[in-house]
Amino acid sequence: MAGEVTISARNVVKAFGQGAGAVRALDDVSVDIRQGEFFTLLGPSGCGKTTLLRLIAGFEMPTEGTILLDGTDISTLPPNRRPVNTVFQSYALFPHLTVAQNIAFGLEMLGKPGAEVKARTAAMLALVKLEAMATRKTSQLSGGQQQRVALARALAPQPKVLLLDEPLSALDLKLRKEMQIELKRLQLETGITFIFVTHDQEEALTMSDRIAVMSAGKIQQVGTAKEIYIHPKNRFVASFIGETNFLTGTAEAGALRLATGDRIDVPGMTPGGTVTVCVRPEQLRLGPAEDGAIKARVRTLVYFGTDTHCHLALSDGTEIVARLQSPASGDAGLAEGQEVGVTFAPGAVQRVED
């Protein structure tokens, strides 16, 4: 049933090495992944995301804690005894076999009857739209087609969970974007729980039902793309998901007082000490340098087609960026060196922890 928990990590620690020199790749990680969702582990290299995926797959065993599947502890089960399949970054296809033979391979290793193997192979070829390529060797396929074969082979045994370890990283930008849509389609059509590992925020935002942002072996925040983007829990999450501006000042009742003397409304802010807020570039509004607006000077304008990025400097030298929708003419109506007034969209300014 949708919404039920399929995979649970409970206080998982994974340490490599012994004694004082041991490195904790995962440090007390707990997370629930629901049945039938597209769940993404997102973070920079070395954050622990692939280690967590390998623990779920059974390629590594936890140093502490447990991995549960449908409430059953699978922490010590070998990979071949888990209803879980993995698609690797390298695809790991058999170049001497045809597309159909690659897809059928896992089913044959499981001892499935010939008729079932044939039927499932045909169904998978149709699912990934490679019927016309069935008799070709995988070495004759493009990178995107090879990835579809790897996906079909992993989906053929109907696993409860499909693990995807940065499977799009080897593709060019255009094909990567196409395959993002394709992966989401496959997940929706099969209803299988997908756990996807990536360092690419766009991939995570495009495909995921929920995202776990990881850093230094810990999960920093779990939520939908919208929740994480609009309400980041801390500075790391705010900076890793999308672009953002950070402003530091003194907390007042309902506001932040900048070093420039300007006051920014922050609902719910209580007096006390130095705090940091974040605001996304698209939430900045530029207008005349009038009372009530923060005075800034345009440093550079960078045209990106649909958007123009306006790099600004406040009176104390603090740099911020505004992202403005480019008009049809491409001229943002601003000039380098121009003084402007900066205001923020209602509710756009968020307090963040360091």
> Over the stretch 265-312, which tens digit does the pLDDT of each residue have?
998 899 989 999 999 999 999 998 888 899 999 999 998 888 999 999
Residues 214/47, Cβ–Cβ less than 8 Å: yes
Please say if the pLDDT value at position 47 is more than 70: yes
Residue 148 reports pLDDT greater than 60: yes
- Residues contacting 114, CB < 8 A, separation 6+: none
- For the cut 90, the answer to whether the pLDDT of residue 317 exceeds it is yes
1 — pLDDT class (breaks 50, 70, 90): very low
Looking at residue 307, its amino acid is D
Give the pLDDT confidence score for residue 292 in this predicted structure.
83
Examine the pLDDT at 57 and tell me if it is beyond 80: yes
Confidence of residue 177 (pLDDT cuts 50, 70, 90): confident
pLDDT of 3 higher than 80? no
Model confidence at 21: pLDDT above 90: no
Please give the Cα distance from 63 to 25 (Å, whole number): 10
| pLDDT average, residue stretch 32-40 | 97
d(CA 99, CA 93): 9
Could you report the per-residue pLDDT of 92-124, keeping only the tens digit for each? 888 889 999 999 998 999 899 999 999 999 999
Q: Is the pLDDT of residue 67 over 80?
A: yes
